[in-house]
């Protein structure tokens, strides 16, 4: 017989039980502290996990008519999908970002629909764990700056300038904190997702300021986290 809650007794529950036991063993205040910890940390984390799993499965069911790979029989034999689901659920539990949880859902669905090398899949999930939605927004822009009307208008108005000016025109919130922006750029370059570690250098204006700056692995990651149809 199937349990009432198909998301109970997951791997995360064993971790939560261990944490509860550790807090509960503290002298004097252990019991009260454990109750407080469960209420403010453990229970909400489990709710995020369960919500993530339910929403992912709802999206999967909605796509089944368009993809034979999403049948129950196909998914049962798809180890990449199963591994991605488990890893993504763990990551979803530990993030407060709804945008990041959606990216993780996309990764789960794409791992089911397509094929991906296991090494690449693991690397992509490690990257996603370290990245913020702002990283992804910048990476998407750098994959095709010409898709942004603001970027195109900015590039055409500049005779000599930097690509950072064009990025600012398209993504002002990404560049308003210069220190944070430099960190984002550096992270993407360090991950091997982009071809440049800085966009502040002067160059001629026009189309030269709209050249893509993503690597093959960067484009692959974007495909992995793109919302599937």
pLDDT, tens digit, 9 for 90 and up, residues 5-61 = 554 555 445 445 544 555 455 554 557 776 766 666 667 778 888 899 999 999 999
Work out the burial of residue 91: count CB atoms within 10 Å of its CB; fewer than 13 is exposed, 13-18 middle, 19 or more buried. Answer: middle
Give residue limits of the domains in the chain.
11-117, 133-225
- Whether 200 and 185 have beta carbons less than 8 Å apart is answered as no
Tell which residue, 43, 121, 132, 131, has the closest CA to residue 86.
121
Question: Which residues are paired to 194 by β-bridges?
Answer: 214
Triad 118, 222, 47: Cα angle to 5°: 80
Q: Is 54 helix (H, G, I), strand (E, B) or coil?
A: helix
**What local confidence, expressed as pLDDT, does residue 133 receive?**
96
pLDDT of 11 reads: 46
pLDDT tens profile 67-112: 999 999 999 999 999 999 999 999 999 898 999 999 999 999 999 9
Return the DSSP state at 214: B
Question: In angstroms, how far is the first alpha carbon of the chain from the final one?
Answer: 34
* Percentages of the chain per state (helix, strand, coil), in multiples of 5: 70, 5, 25
Average pLDDT, the chain: 88
Calculate mean pLDDT across residues 201-210. Answer: 92
């Amino acid at each position: 017989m199937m349990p009432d809650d198909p998301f109970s007794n997951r791997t995360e529950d064993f971790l939560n039980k261990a944490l509860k036991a550790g807090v509960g063993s503290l002298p004097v205040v252990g019991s009260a502290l454990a109750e407080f910890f469960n209420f403010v940390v453990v229970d909400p984390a489990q709710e995020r996990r369960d919500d993530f799993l339910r929403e992912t499965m709802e999206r999967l069911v909605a796509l089944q008519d368009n993809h034979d790979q999403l049948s129950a029989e196909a998914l049962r034999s798809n180890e990449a999908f199963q591994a991605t689901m488990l890893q993504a659920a763990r990551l979803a539990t530990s993030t407060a970002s709804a945008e990041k949880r959606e990216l993780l859902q996309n990764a789960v669905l794409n791992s089911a629909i397509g094929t991906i090398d296991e090494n690449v899949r693991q690397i992509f999930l490690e990257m996603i764990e370290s990245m913020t939605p702002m990283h992804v927004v910048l990476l998407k822009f750098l994959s095709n700056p010409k898709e942004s009307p603001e970027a195109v208008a900015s590039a055409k108005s500049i005779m000599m300038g930097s690509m950072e000016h064009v990025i600012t025109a398209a993504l002002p919130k990404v560049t308003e904190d210069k220190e944070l922006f430099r960190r984002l750029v550096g992270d993407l370059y360090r991950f091997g997702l982009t071809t440049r570690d800085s966009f502040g250098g002067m160059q001629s204006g026009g189309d030269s300021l709209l050249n893509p700056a993503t690597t093959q692995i960067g484009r692959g990651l974007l495909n992995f986290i793109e919302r599937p149809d």
